[in-house]
C-alpha cells in the first residue's frame, strides 16, 4: 500500500486543500528567530523567547519523529463588518481554527494508523514549539512572502497551517520555491510600517504590527491604539488583502476562492463596539467561547473597542455596564 496515496486521499476527504511531507531536520530559520527575539521584535510574545531551545529539535515534540505532514486549510471569505461592530481578521470569524484543525489532524492520524498500526502521530496547530511556516515551506505548501506569510503560487496565502508529526518514514516533497520579486504592496499598505528588513530578510516587527497590538499586547493604551489600529479590533488582514497572489484571476481560479469549511462560514454575531467597550468578564466569556478571538482577554477587547470608537469619532463609555443596565 502506498502511504502517499492514502495520505492524499484522507487529507482531501477531511477538506485540506494542501498537503505535503518534509523531514524533521534542524530548523534553518531558528537563527533568524533568535535574532528577531534579541532585537525585541517579538514584542509581548514572551513565549517565543522561552521556547527557543525546544524549537531546535522536533524530538522534543514527538520522540522518534521521522516525517512531518503539513496541511493547508483555506479560510478566505469576504469581510464586511457592519458600521459600529468589531472588525476581525478573517481567521477569527467562525469556529476556533485550532480546535477544528486539531480534530481533523487527529482523524487523519487515526485513518493512517488503521493501515500502519505501529506508527505514532502528534497533531500541532500553533501551540507546539515548532516553526510551522518553515516546515510547511519545506513540505511544498508555499514560500515566504515579504509579509512573512506563506504564499502558494496557485492559491495565495489565505490558508491555515497544520502539522502532523509522525514516526512513519514517508518520502518528502520538494520544498516550495517562489518570490515576491520587486512587489512592495504589503510593505507600502501596512499602516504602521511593521514589515521591515532584519539582517537582510523581510520580517514583521510585532511591537508595531496591528495584529500583535490588538491580540498579544496587554500594555498599550487606548490613546496609543487610536493612532495605530486603523479600525481593526482583533487582528489585521491588510497585508494579505493587497497581495497580488490573493487577487482573483481567470488563469488562477483557486485564488481568493471562498472556503468550503462550513465551521468558518458560520459566523458568530458580535455585539456593537459600544457594548464591547463595556464588557464584563462574564460578557467576554460568553461572546468568545469557541472562537479564536478568545486569545485577547476582556481588558484588551474593551481597550480595542474604545480605540475603534475614538477612531470613528465616537466618545467611548468609561465603565462596564452594571447587570441591571445591560438590557436597558
β partners of residue 285:
none
| Sole residue written with cell 513565549 | 47
Q: Tell me: pLDDT of 324 over 60.
A: no
Q: Tell me: pLDDT of 1 over 90.
A: no
Note the pLDDT of residue 316.
Answer: 65
Q: Tell me: pLDDT of 327 over 50.
A: no
Yes or no: say if 125 and 72 are a contact pair by the CB < 8 Å rule: no
Residue-wise pLDDT tens digits, 181-238: 999 999 999 999 999 999 999 999 999 999 999 999 999 999 999 999 999 999 999 9
Dihedral sign for Cα 104, 137, 133, 225, please. negative
Which cell numbers hold the place of 116?
500502519
Question: Would you list the domain boundaries of the chain?
Answer: 3-75+95-166, 185-325
Per-residue CA distances from 25 to 58, 165, 177, 224 (Å): 8, 12, 18, 42
Q: Tell me: pLDDT of 108 over 80.
A: yes
Per-residue CA distances from 315 to 170, 223, 229, 306 (Å): 59, 13, 17, 8
Residue-wise pLDDT tens digits, 288-315: 999 999 999 999 999 999 999 999 998 7
Over residues 130-156, mean pLDDT:
97
Cα angle: 11, vertex 13, 18; to 5 degrees: 40
* pTM for the whole structure: 0.93
What's the mean pLDDT when you consider all of the chain? Answer: 94
Yes or no: say if 134 and 27 are a contact pair by the CB < 8 Å rule: yes
Measured CA to CA, the distance from residue 184 to residue 171 in angstroms comes to 36
- Going by the DSSP 8-state scheme, the letter that residue 252 receives in this structure is B
List, in sequence order, every beta strand (DSSP E) within the chain: 18-22, 67-74, 121-124, 143-144, 150-151, 159-166, 195-198, 201-204
Backbone φ and ψ for 249, nearest 5 degrees, come out as -145, 145
Q: Which residue has the higher pLDDT, 252 or 62?
A: 62
Lay out the sheet containing 67-74: strands in order across: 18-22, 67-74, 159-166, 121-124
Measured CA to CA, the distance from residue 93 to residue 294 in angstroms comes to 12
Q: Which residue has the higher pLDDT, 239 or 323?
A: 239
Helix axes 298-311, 281-288, angle to 10 degrees: 90
Task: List the catalytic residues.
Answer: 126
Over residues 229-252, mean pLDDT:
95
Residue/partner pairs of 47-53 with CB below 8 Å, 24 or more apart: 51/129
Number of Cβ within 10 Å of residue 150's Cβ equals: 23
Note the pLDDT of residue 321.
Answer: 47
Q: Tell me: pLDDT of 47 over 80.
A: yes
Note the pLDDT of residue 251.
Answer: 84
Amino acid at each position: 500500500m502506498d502511504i502517499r496515496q492514502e495520505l492524499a486521499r484522507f487529507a482531501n476527504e477531511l477538506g485540506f486543500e494542501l498537503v505535503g511531507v518534509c523531514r524533521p531536520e534542524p530548523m534553518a530559520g531558528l537563527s533568524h528567530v533568535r535574532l528577531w527575539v534579541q532585537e525585541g521584535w517579538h514584542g509581548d510574545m514572551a513565549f517565543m523567547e522561552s521556547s527557543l531551545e525546544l524549537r531546535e529539535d522536533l524530538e522534543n515534540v514527538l520522540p522518534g519523529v521521522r516525517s512531518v505532514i503539513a496541511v493547508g486549510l483555506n479560510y478566505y471569505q469576504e469581510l464586511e463588518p457592519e458600521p459600529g461592530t468589531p472588525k476581525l481578521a478573517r481567521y477569527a470569524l467562525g469556529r476556533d481554527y485550532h480546535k477544528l484543525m486539531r480534530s481533523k489532524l487527529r482523524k487523519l492520524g487515526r485513518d493512517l494508523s488503521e493501515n500502519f498500526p505501529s506508527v505514532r502521530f502528534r497533531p500541532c496547530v500553533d501551540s507546539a514549539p515548532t516553526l510551522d511556516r518553515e516546515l510547511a515551506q519545506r513540505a511544498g505548501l508555499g514560500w515566504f512572502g515579504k509579509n512573512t506569510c506563506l504564499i502558494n503560487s496557485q492559491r495565495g496565502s489565505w490558508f491555515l497551517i497544520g502539522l502532523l508529526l509522525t514516526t512513519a518514514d514517508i518520502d518528502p516533497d520538494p520544498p516550495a520555491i517562489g518570490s515576491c520579486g520587486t512587489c512592495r504592496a504589503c510593505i507600502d499598505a501596512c499602516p504602521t510600517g511593521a514589515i521591515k528588513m532584519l539582517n537582510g530578510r523581510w520580517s514583521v516587527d510585532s511591537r508595531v504590527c496591528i495584529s500583535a497590538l490588538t491580540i498579544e499586547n496587554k500594555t498599550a493604551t487606548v490613546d496609543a491604539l487610536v493612532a495605530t489600529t486603523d479600525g481593526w479590533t482583533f487582528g489585521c488582514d491588510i497585508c494579505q488583502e493587497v497581495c497580488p497572489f490573493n487577487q482573483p484571476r481567470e488563469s488562477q481560479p483557486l485564488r481568493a476562492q471562498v472556503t468550503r469549511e462550513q465551521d468558518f462560514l458560520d459566523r458568530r454575531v458580535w455585539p456593537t463596539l459600544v457594548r464591547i467597550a463595556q464588557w464584563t468578564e462574564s460578557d467576554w466569556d460568553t461572546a468568545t467561547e469557541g472562537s479564536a478571538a478568545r486569545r485577547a482577554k476582556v481588558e484588551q477587547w474593551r481597550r480595542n473597542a474604545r480605540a475603534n470608537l475614538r477612531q470613528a469619532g465616537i466618545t467611548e463609555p468609561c465603565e462596564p455596564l452594571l447587570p441591571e443596565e445591560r438590557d436597558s
